[in-house]
Amino acid sequence: MKNLRPISISLLLLCLCVLSFFVYKTELEKKEVKDDLIELSNIKYGLFNVDEWKKILAEVTAKKIEEFEVTDSTKVQMKPKISGFLNKVIGDFEITYYKKNSKTLGGFFRNAGAKAFNIFDELKENVPTFTNQILAFLDDPANKQRLKIYLTDKLNDYADNTFAKMDYSLRDSLIKKYNCQDRSAALSVLNSKFKILQNKSDLYKYILAFFAALVAILILCTKKASNLELILMLSTSFLLLILGLMLPMIEIDARVSNMRMSLLGEQINFDDQVLYYKSKSILEVVKLMLTQGGFDLLIVGILVLIFSVLFPLSKLVASVCLTLSPGLESNKIIRFLVHKIGKWSMADVMVVAIFMSYVGFSGILTEQLNQLDNLSSKLEVLTTNKSSLQIGFFAFTSFVLLSLLITNKLKSRNAENHPIN
């Protein structure tokens, strides 16, 4: 049974190596697809897009103009209004005409001629004819088409002169990348790809947790581990650390899942409008802080690099050296890295901080999105907080737990052979 332990751990390590390769490859593909999907789902291409609203308004306006028909019932309703409007316009013009011409001699004769020929009375008598001509004009399909073109052009001119032009170069490159005709088709393709990759990622996450649990059980069940067994255990811990550092830890995703509103009696819908999205690994966060932040972020980035990257790696390397050369127990540096660094390493605190950050961000986003849901009784808004812990968090957590178990095992073994004063 004792001889089977190294074989079992070796098999587990081999499985973890193969699994780690597939996990990393899948997560890279998933990240690329998700980034492209988030870009195309960004609210700047939908709800906050001027061109999208121009298209919607043009379609609604055209539909309303097309639906307008001068029927018998419509004529009955419109005739009095049009006739009243024409009579008022003619009456107002008559008053203005006479008043203007009354101040000069030439105007006196013009007023006399207008009265003699009953010009304004004849105009008023022809109001019914003018009314029918206006109704016929409105019902002419050619005039409807001209009106649609005119309103669309005016709408485009107003938008172009009021808002800045949108840069679609990135959107168009993504559409071309996936061999699609438009944004909707590209979103459909990306959603299908992402769903497949997400299912694979979930499966790998469960398998990874299962193997990590098996290694932990083997460590707990091993009273006195050999050098080979310790090296294999440390290698397993190292694999989990690398995955934890390189893979995303948290995904912050806030979006408007659906927004419905009524415009001139027409239903307007916007689906999956991404408001905010971030997904970073520890190494990506450190790189961002070191290269793009100010002095305060630079300090924080250095601390995260030291406590969550350099210290855990140094501890693993020192543990391997001590396992292979027990005589190094007297070396102060090795002893510090193996036995004392746990007091300085912030790996376990980092896991708790990441988890608490996730809970905090999730709560804040949910509260803010709920306020958006209740923005207006005439506006139906359904928001979604899709923030989640990613596989990097679980890999890093597994490393922390296994590292503690292995350190205790190594400390107990060396304490028997070389008691520490």
User: Domain-by-domain residue ranges, the chain?
Assistant: 4-49+168-417, 61-162
Tokens representing 143? 């005039």
Q: What pLDDT does 421 receive?
A: 44
Looking at every residue in the chain, the average pLDDT score rounds to 77
Residues composing the chain: 421
Could you count the other beta carbons within 10 Å of the beta carbon of residue 218?
19
- The residue with tokens 């893979």 is 247
- Assess whether pLDDT exceeds 90 at residue 190: yes
**How wide is the angle at C-alpha 40 spanned by C-alphas 35 and 43, nearest 5°?**
110
Half-sphere exposure of 186 (CA within 13 A, CB side): 22
For residues 364-399, one letter each, b for 16 or more C-beta atoms within 10 angstroms of the residue's C-beta and e for the rest, the string is ebeeebeeeeeeeeeeebebbbebebbbbbbbbbbb
Please tell me the distance from the alpha carbon of residue 237 to that of residue 216, in angstroms, as a whole number.
Answer: 10
Give dist(CA 79, CA 58) in Å, integer. Answer: 28
Residue 194 clears pLDDT 90, i.e. is over it: yes
Q: Which pLDDT tens digit goes with each residue over 15-28? A: 888 888 999 999 99
Question: What is the pLDDT at residue 37?
Answer: 93
What integer pLDDT is reported at residue 369 of this predicted model? Answer: 58
pTM to 2 decimal places: 0.70
Q: Tokens 């804040």 label which residue? A: 364
Q: Please state the rounded mean pLDDT for residues 255-276.
A: 78
Burial 231-252 (b: 16+ CB within 10 A, else e): bbbbbbbbbbbbbbbbbbbbbb
Which one has a higher pLDDT value, 100 or 198? 198
Of the candidates 12, 119, 213, the residue with the CA atom closest to the CA atom of residue 110: 119
Q: What is the pLDDT of residue 35?
A: 92
Phi-psi region of 252 (alpha: psi -120 to 50; beta: other; left: phi over 0): beta
3-state secondary structure 286-342: HHHHHHHCCHHHHHHHHHHHHHHHHHHHHHHHHHHHHHHCHHHHHCHHHHHHHHHHH
Cα distances (Å, whole numbers) of residue 164 to 158, 159, 270, 386: 11, 9, 22, 31
Find the range with the poorest average confidence among 66-75, 260-269, 278-287, 338-347.
338-347
Between 179-183, 357-361, 380-384, the lowest mean confidence (pLDDT) is in 357-361
Q: What is the pLDDT at residue 261? A: 75
How would residue 420 be classed by pLDDT, with cut points 50, 70 and 90?
Answer: very low
